[in-house]
Amino acid sequence: MKWLGSSGLFLATALLVCSAPAGAAGPLPSVRLPESAAIRGLPPPSFARSAHSYGWPIRPFGVKHLIRSGLGDPRVGALERNFHFGIDIPAADRTPVYAVEAGTAYLSPGRVAVLTNFRPGDRTGFTYWHIDPAVQQRSFVRPHSLIGWIKPGRGHVHFAEIQNDRYVNPLRPGALTPAPDLSRPTIDSVTVEPIGQDPDSDGAVSGRIRIVIEASARPVQTPPPPWQGSVIAPSLVLWRLLAEGAAVSEWRTAVDFRNYIPPNTRYADIYTPQAKPDWPNRPGIFLFYLARNWDTSALEPGAYTIQVAAYEGAKNVTATAPLQIAEPVVAPTETVSLP
C-alpha cells in the first residue's frame, strides 16, 4: 500500500493471481455494489448474434496477422472522447485490402463499406478505413475481391464489423478466424479515492469513493515501430467485495466489450479523464472505473477486499486490493454541571 502525498489518493497495488474468479464462499452475498452507468439499459452480451467465421482483410486470408488496437480502446481528441469501434491491423502503405465477405460497396472519403443491408438503422456488413478505393460506388463485391490499398502515411487498416447499425467485436468467438494472439491481461493498480474527504491516518475511508483500475492486454507478437508498445483494452472487467476471504457481493460488470461497445455518450462512465490512448512510441494508459461515485455508508466498518477480474477472450487475471471502511465519527457529548 502506498500513500500518494496530499492528493487524497489511497493506492492499493494489485496483487496478481492468474486464475479464474472463484465461486462465492460462506454466507450468501449481502452487499449491493453500484451498477456501471455505461452498461445500464443496454442489451445483455448474449444479444449479439453468433457470427459465422470470416478471414482477414489482407493476404494471406487464413493466417493470423498482428493487431495494434482493439474494440473499446480509448480515443481522445481535442473536443471529444470515443470508444475505438474496430481493430487496427498494421501493414505497409499501399498494401492491398480485400473484402472478407460479399456485399455492396459504399464509398466515403478514406473508407469503403461492404454491406449486405444498408437500410437506415439496420446496416450490416464491414467497413475498411484508411484506404484508397479500388471499387465503384454501389458495385457488387465478392469475397476476397480487392477493394482498395492502405493510404500513404497510415500504415494500417481499421477493420470494423456492423450488425444492425451497431459495431460488434471482430474478436468475439466465431468471427475473425484465425484469431490474433493476445496476451493474458494485466492489472497494474487498483486505486481507492475518497470523494470530498481524506482517508484517516490508517487509510480508512467513508462516504463516497471512486475505485479505478489500470488494466490492459498486449499483442503477443510486437507490432512494428512506432507502435511496438501498443496495449489493448480487456474485453471484460468484473469486480466484487470480500470480507474475511468470503464473498459478500455478487460479481459486478464494470467493462464489457466482448460483443458491443456502449454509445460514446457513456465514455466517461468507463474511462477516467486521465486515460490515454496508444500513441507512436508511447503505450496507452487504460484507466477504468469500477465505481465512479459509490456511497459506502451502508457498509459495516471494517476490513474488506476488492477483487477484480480482467478477461481477454478465455485468458484472465485476478487482482485484489484492500478497502478499509472507517468507524463512524461520533460527535462528543457536552457535559453540563448542575448547580
Q: Read off the pLDDT of residues 194-253 as tens digits, 9 standing for 90 and up.
A: 998 876 667 899 899 999 999 999 999 999 999 999 999 999 999 999 999 999 999 999
Window from 10-19, 49-58, 123-132 with minimum mean pLDDT: 10-19
Cβ atoms of 62 and 143 within 8 Å: the answer is: no
C-alpha span between 81 and 75 (Å, rounded): 6
Q: Which residues pair with 209 in a beta bridge?
A: 194, 294
Q: pLDDT-derived band of residue 37, with 50, 70 and 90 as boundaries?
A: confident
Cβ atoms of 210 and 197 within 8 Å: the answer is: no
Residue linked to cell 462516504: 207
pLDDT in tens, 249-279: 999 999 999 999 999 999 999 999 999 999 9
3-class SS letters over the chain: CEEEHHHCEEEECCEEECCCCCCCCCCCCCECCCCCCCCCCCCCHHHCCCCCCECCCCCCCCCCCCCCECCCCEEECCCCEEECCCEEEECCCCCEEECCCCEEEEEECCEEEEEEECCCCCCEEEEEECEEECCCCCCEECCCCEEEEECCCCCEEEEEEEECCEEECCCCCCCECCCCCECCCEEEEEEEEECCCCCCCCCCECCEEEEEEEEEECECCCCCCCCCCCCECCCEEEEEEEECCEECECCEEEEECCCECCCHHHHHHCECCCCECCECCECCECEEEEEEEEEHHHCCCEEEEEEEEEEECCEEEEEEEEEEECCCCCCCCCCCCCC
C-alpha span between 323 and 294 (Å, rounded): 13
Cβ atoms of 161 and 103 within 8 Å: the answer is: no
- The predicted structure's pLDDT at residue 46: 54
Q: pLDDT-derived band of residue 119, with 50, 70 and 90 as boundaries?
A: confident
- The predicted structure's pLDDT at residue 334: 59
C-alpha span between 224 and 91 (Å, rounded): 9
Q: pLDDT-derived band of residue 42, with 50, 70 and 90 as boundaries?
A: low
Half-sphere exposure of 91 (CA within 13 A, CB side): 24
pLDDT in tens, 271-302: 999 999 999 999 999 999 999 999 999 999 99
Cβ atoms of 235 and 313 within 8 Å: the answer is: yes
- The predicted structure's pLDDT at residue 5: 28
State pTM to two decimals.
Answer: 0.86
pLDDT at 161 over 50: yes
Instruction: Kindly provide the b/e burial profile for residues 279-306, where b requires at least 16 CB atoms within 10 angstroms of the residue's own CB.
Output: eeeebbbbbbbbbbebebeebeeeebbb
Q: Residues near 315 by Cβ (< 8 Å), separated by ≥ 6? A: 182, 183, 184, 185, 217
- The predicted structure's pLDDT at residue 121: 78
C-alpha span between 97 and 151 (Å, rounded): 11
Share of the chain above pLDDT 90, in %: 70
Domain architecture of the chain: domains with CATH: 2-42+182-325 (2.70.50), 50-168 (2.70.70.10)
- The predicted structure's pLDDT at residue 12: 43
